[in-house]
């Protein structure tokens, strides 16, 4: 027997987004890879590499998936890759940078089928934030929702009120572009 559908992610948001498609993973495995960007690496190349490396790292531990899916979400301001904001100071720095500006949220998805074939898609969504006052920034940092998030915010929470414009995939910003995910899973033979 094989491992069934393997979700190579520790993110509860990715599990919830898959549930929106009616898909429940048979196995959850957290990818452990080095997420440091290479010197001069551009956002699209970086996020694509991250999703592929997550898929490959987990595939090595789940030798017989019927289908395996991994993803990576990265916030970019121009050519600059924003960090996953692991401290309140980093959340504040990200918000200062994003205030009143457009940025792009890239989510790359990598799917491996039963034969070991890799299929990939990249979703890019342009998001504009309103100009944030010092008080708005401080309140958002204090609420803690930005911690651990790429770019220091989560669009599915309070930061939704900062978004004055969005073009692309809302689910992609949260962590999995569902239009692309559905196409990849179907092409990979998931019923």
User: What residue ranges bind ligand TTP (CB under 6 A)?
Assistant: 9-11, 13-14, 30-31, 54, 71-73, 75, 84, 105, 149-151, 153-156, 173-175
Strands 118-129 and 65-77: unpaired
Residue 1 CB, nearest approach to ligand TTP (Å): 25
34 is catalytic: no
Give the ranges where the chain is alpha helix by DSSP (H). Answer: 12-20, 43-59, 88-98, 134-143, 170-174, 178-187
Residue 153 CB, nearest approach to ligand TTP (Å): 6
Closest residue to ligand TTP in the complex (CB): 9
Phi, psi for 13 (deg, rounded to 5): -65, -40
The residue written with tokens 């289908």 in the block is 67
Residue closest to 75 by CA, chosen among 88, 84, 65: 84
The conformation of residue 133, written as its DSSP 8-state character, comes to: P
Nearer to ligand TTP, 25 or 115 (CB): 25
3-state secondary structure of 50: helix
Active-site residue, selected from the candidate residues 16, 26, 72, 92: 72
Nearer to ligand TTP, 1 or 84 (CB): 84
Nearer to ligand TTP, 113 or 149 (CB): 149
Residue 39 CB, nearest approach to ligand TTP (Å): 20
Write out the catalytic residue numbers: 72
């Amino acid at each position: 027997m094989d491992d069934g559908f393997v979700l190579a992610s520790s993110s509860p948001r990715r599990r919830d987004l898959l549930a929106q498609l009616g898909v429940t993973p048979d196995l959850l495995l957290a990818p452990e890879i080095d997420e440091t960007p290479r010197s001069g690496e551009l956002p699209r190349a970086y996020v694509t590499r991250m999703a592929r490396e997550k898929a490959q790292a987990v595939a090595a531990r789940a030798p017989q998936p019927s289908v395996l899916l991994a993803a990576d979400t990265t916030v970019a301001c121009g050519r600059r890759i924003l960090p996953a904001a692991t401290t309140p100071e980093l959340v504040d720095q990200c918000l200062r940078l994003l205030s009143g500006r457009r940025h792009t949220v890239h989510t790359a998805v990598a799917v491996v089928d039963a034969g070991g074939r890799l299929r990939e898609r990249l979703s890019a969504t342009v998001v504009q934030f309103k100009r944030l006052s010092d008080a708005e920034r401080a309140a958002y940092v204090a609420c803690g929702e930005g911690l651990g998030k790429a770019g220091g915010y989560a669009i599915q929470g309070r930061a939704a009120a900062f978004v004055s414009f969005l073009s692309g995939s809302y689910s992609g910003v949260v962590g999995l572009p569902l239009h692309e995910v559905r196409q990849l899973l179907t092409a990979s033979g998931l019923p």
